[in-house]
Chains A and B, each alone.
Chain A
Amino acid sequence: MSTVARPGAAPLRHRSIARRKAVDLTIKVLSWIGAWIGIAVMAFIVYEVVRRGIAAWDIAFFTQPTPQDVTSSAGGFANAIVGTIVITAVAALIAIPTGFLGGVYLAEFGRNGRLATAVRMIANVVMGVPSIIVGVFAFAILVKPLQHYSGFAGSVALAFIMLPVMARTTEDILNLVPNELRESGLAMGAPRWKVTMGVVFKAARDGLITGATLAIVRVAGETAPLLFTALSSPYWMTGLFGPGGYFGGPVANLTKTIYDFSGSPYPQWQTLAWGGALLIIVAVLGMNILVRLLFQRGKEW
């Protein structure tokens, strides 16, 4: 539409086009630089980790436990890999169903009720708590009373970090499902739980899976919560109870072992630490890619 001057009105003065173009260009360049600084730092980290870590990746790395002293030539990270998988898996088993149901409550049932508002606020606060404090908390409730470190205490600490992430992600994803879909389901005479399970979850399926995976990725690289809980161990985890078991004593894990070995004076151990760092990066990247692939496959809905 062309502008039509109102009778008697002063002619409109145009704003400088050159100036607008200059501002546009400046912002474009600045955001471009910002993006590239981020990407460059990331690329540098990945490059360094790959360059130094790949040397550690041999068969022993994935099959041998951590070396107990410098004199033993062989040694890998296998016990730490197993430990991290078990600790993280149990944490996920605790936190994902609980967090998921919590998120469902927030999005579908509690909404803006008093309880939901309180839960949401607490979840936001807990997400901001430094992970070392979560570690100390798990130490206080599980390690101190039982008088020993354990892999389970590590799982609980990680679960505590995952829980609010999972709940809030689930809530956000369910909120993306349009209300018309809920209304349509209810208008068919289906009870609320059936609409939630049969219609809303289906519509949000990809997002929910992504949320769960990202919650796992979020804790996969945590070190601080394990410092006071799972600690570390040069041995394989042996069974459930007893001094070397999951519930009974310190359990080897990737992040704490990387922390210990990277600070050691022995170049051989430092190389192993780089190898562990590479493994974590590859695992996190792998899970992210997996989620993306899943999303693409899920496009049919």
Chain B
Amino acid sequence: MVGTIVNDPTHTQAAVTVVPPRLEVAEARRGADEDFAALPSQISVRHLDFFYGKEQALFDNEIEIKQNRVTAVIGPSGCGKSTHIRTYNRIFNLYRDQRATGEVVMDGVNILSSQTDLLDLRRRIGMIFQKPSPFPMTVFDNVAYGLRQHYKLGRSELSDRVEDALKRSAIWDEVKHKLSEPGNALSGGQQQRLCIARAIAAEPEVLLMDEPCSAIDPVATAKIEELILTLKSNYTIVLVTHNMQQAARVSDYTAFFFQGHIVEFGPTTQIFSNPAKKQTEEYITGRFG
């Protein structure tokens, strides 16, 4: 069997079983040396429950997402990782039968409240999806979409900002001559970086990434991981991933989800080298999941 990366969670799951028991965290002791409580929180989640119709998918989730840090969310398929981060920008509101209760607090305000302005919330919290989803328009218009939506900009400022966003997404050199070509004409990895450019162009504070690399090849994955590390100086990043090496490589803090519960949350070094819970240990060493 060849370990190609395909858009199928079961394949990435299968890859997990050959991972050595202890994962190396690239940047030594990342997240472990700082005082967690002293760091400013971007998002504080308390008593978060989530329901698909009558079926409960999240149970009493509590987590602190720290500013300018990468927080990885790991766990087996169907454990509620995506469901959890989809509450942060209320994207689940697209579906009538889905609802969340509890608190997701940003700047002292519970964003689950009915008073939340969803358009402004989503300007502040950008999202990257598993499948690259460029809009059916040119590369330029894709990146300009959020800018035009939220800001009044002159023509030259707009194109400056589009260029800047593409540069910061490490894709400028590849698309600078293709700005007026359709976004769908790019390769999968380029499309995903285009989506990142589209998200960061609107100047959000938080980037939610829902398995951003599971549909693209390893080289493109490496580029996006590198990008995540540079982006964290400006943004707070929440990264859902099936790939535990990826979580270990890029995140500062890691939350392990299982069956809708947050089993363990802590510095990535600690989660991967010395997990407190047996379930976490079993998952990261590939014994289940």
Contacts and interface: CB of A to CB of B under 8 A. Distances in A.
B87 to A, nearest CB: 13
Interface of B: 89, 91, 94, 96, 118-123, 126-127, 129-131, 133, 135-137, 145-146, 149-150, 182, 184-185, 195, 198-199, 202
B137 A202 contact: yes
B146 A184 contact: no
A180 interface: yes
Contact of B182 (A178, A183, A189, A301): A301
Contacts of A185: 135, 145
25 contacts: A112-B96, A180-B130, A183-B91, A183-B94, A184-B127, A184-B135, A184-B195, A185-B135, A185-B145, A187-B122, A187-B126, A188-B145, A188-B199, A188-B202, A189-B118, A189-B120, A189-B122, A189-B123, A189-B149, A190-B145, A191-B119, A199-B136, A202-B137, A300-B182, A301-B184
A183 B89 CA distance: 11
Contacts of B120: 189
Contacts of B150: 189
B129 A183 contact: yes
A205 B121 CA distance: 30
Sorted from nearest, which 4 A-B pairs have the closest CB atoms? A189-B122, A187-B127, A189-B123, A184-B133
A148 interface: no
A52 interface: no
Nearest to A189: B122
Nearest to A188: B146
Given A183-B127, A188-B199, A301-B136, 18 more contacts: A179-B94, A180-B129, A181-B133, A181-B135, A183-B94, A184-B133, A184-B135, A187-B122, A187-B129, A188-B149, A188-B198, A189-B118, A189-B150, A189-B202, A191-B119, A198-B135, A199-B135, A202-B135
A101 interface: no
Nearest to A205: B136
A111 B133 CA distance: 22
A202 B137 CA distance: 8
Contacts of A181: 133, 135
A194 interface: yes
A287 interface: no
A129 B119 CA distance: 44
A203 interface: yes
A178 B133 contact: yes
Interface residues of A, number: 25
Contacts of A188: 122, 126, 145-146, 149, 198-199, 202
Interface in A119-150: none
Contacts of A194: 149
A189 B135 contact: no
Contacts of B121: 189
Contacts of B149: 188-190, 194
Nearest to B181: A300
Interface in A258-301: 300-301
Given A186-B91, A190-B149, A111 B122 contact: no
Contacts of B184: 301
Interface string A228-261: 0000000000000000000000000000000000
A202 B91 CA distance: 21
A175 to B, nearest CB: 14
A198 B146 CA distance: 12
Contacts of A199: 135-136
Contacts of B146: 188-190
B65 to A, nearest CB: 17
B122 to A, nearest CB: 4
Nearest to A204: B136
Contacts of A301: 136, 182, 184
B94 A186 contact: yes
Interface string A156-186: 0000000000000000000000111111111
A133 B199 CA distance: 54
